[in-house]
């Protein structure tokens, strides 16, 4: 009996190829990163579509793309270069043309006066950005990075899927388009509880799927 074939995008040939299902499963081991280290050589050139085991990685890719897009939006107010080898710690200057920035990405007084990692500026929640700056010892930056987009680079254990992180459903500067997983909401409760619009946006998308709204315990 011949093995089932599925269509995949062959990056090397820039065309669609028919690939055996077993080979796709070899390509997409959920424990391995989607973005390989530059020193590693790719074993296969057919890279799309992702199999169901990599749905969470595809979600993380969408979040990464959204954060990069937000970086482009605020680039006009940045005084640091777009590409840096290490994390940039800075304060943001006041925008000279505030009308060009969505309100959700406008620098807060805290961002303009307190040194902080530039990655914080990319989240479209002003109150969350302020909390990340004010309370650096209450969370692990590496953990948060891994929960948001770490599976793209480091891989992840299959049993951790439920706690990994964020989905960007709409333009990334739009607060109402961000959904946080229940595991993420509970893990970072000190930072997230009470952030205006955050849980409301999550519950909007949960209702669309017919799920119960998320509620923090009293």
* Top-confidence residue, 190 or 44: 190
Q: What is the pLDDT of residue 152?
A: 55
Q: Where are the domains of the chain?
A: 5-49, 54-208
Direct distance between the N- and C-terminal alpha carbons of the chain, in angstroms, rounded to an integer? 58
Peptide bond into 122 cis (omega under 30): no
- The residue ranking higher by pLDDT, 8 or 214, is 214
Helix (H, G, I), strand (E, B) or coil at 59: helix
pLDDT tens readout for residues 113-172: 999 999 999 999 999 999 999 999 899 998 888 788 755 555 555 555 555 678 888 888
Global pTM reads 0.70
- Residues 47-103: tens digit of each pLDDT: 444 444 445 556 677 788 888 888 888 887 776 555 555 678 889 887 766 557 888
pLDDT tier, 197 (very low <50, low <70, confident <90, very high otherwise): very high
What is the pLDDT, as a whole number, of residue 44? Answer: 43
What digits encode the pLDDT tens for the residues 105-114? 999 999 999 9
Token digits of residue 157: 């254990």
The residues, ordered by sequence, that sit 6+ positions from 14 with a Cβ below 8 Å of its Cβ are none
- How much is the pLDDT for 39? 45
Query: Is the backbone of residue 194 left (phi > 0), alpha (psi -120 to 50) or beta?
Result: left
When the pLDDT of each residue in the chain is averaged and rounded to a whole number, the result is 76
Asked whether the beta carbons of 63 and 184 are under 8 A apart, the reply is no
pLDDT digits (tens, 9 = 90+) for 84-99: 556 788 898 877 665 5
Q: Using CA atoms, how far apart are residues 94 and 91, in angstroms rounded to an integer?
A: 10
- Could you tell me which residue, 148 or 194, shows the higher pLDDT? 194
Please report the beta strands in 31-117, taking only residues with DSSP state E, as ranges in sequence order: 46-48, 89-90, 116-117
- Confidence band (pLDDT; 50, 70, 90) for 214? very high
């Amino acid at each position: 009996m011949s093995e089932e074939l599925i269509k995949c995008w062959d990056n090397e040939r820039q065309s669609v190829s028919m690939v055996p299902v077993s080979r796709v499963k070899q390509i997409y081991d959920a424990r391995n990163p989607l973005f390989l280290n530059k020193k590693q050589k790719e074993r296969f050139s057919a890279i799309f579509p992702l199999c169901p085991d990599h749905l969470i990685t595809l979600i993380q890719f969408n979040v990464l793309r959204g954060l990069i897009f937000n970086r482009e939006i605020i680039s006009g107010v940045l005084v640091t270069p777009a590409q840096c080898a290490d994390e940039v710690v800075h304060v943001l200057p006041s925008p000279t043309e505030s009308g060009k920035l969505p309100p959700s990405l406008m620098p807060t007084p805290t961002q303009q006066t307190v040194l902080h990692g530039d990655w914080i500026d990319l989240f479209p929640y002003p109150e969350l950005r302020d909390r990340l700056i004010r309370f650096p010892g209450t969370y692990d930056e590496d953990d948060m990075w891994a929960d948001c987009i770490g599976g793209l680079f480091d891989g992840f254990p299959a049993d951790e899927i439920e706690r990994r992180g964020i989905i960007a459903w709409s333009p990334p500067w739009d607060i109402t388009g961000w959904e946080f997983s229940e595991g993420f909401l509970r893990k970072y409760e000190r930072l997230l509880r009470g952030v205006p619009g955050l849980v409301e946006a999550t519950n909007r998308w949960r209702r669309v799927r017919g799920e119960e709204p998320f509620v923090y315990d009293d």
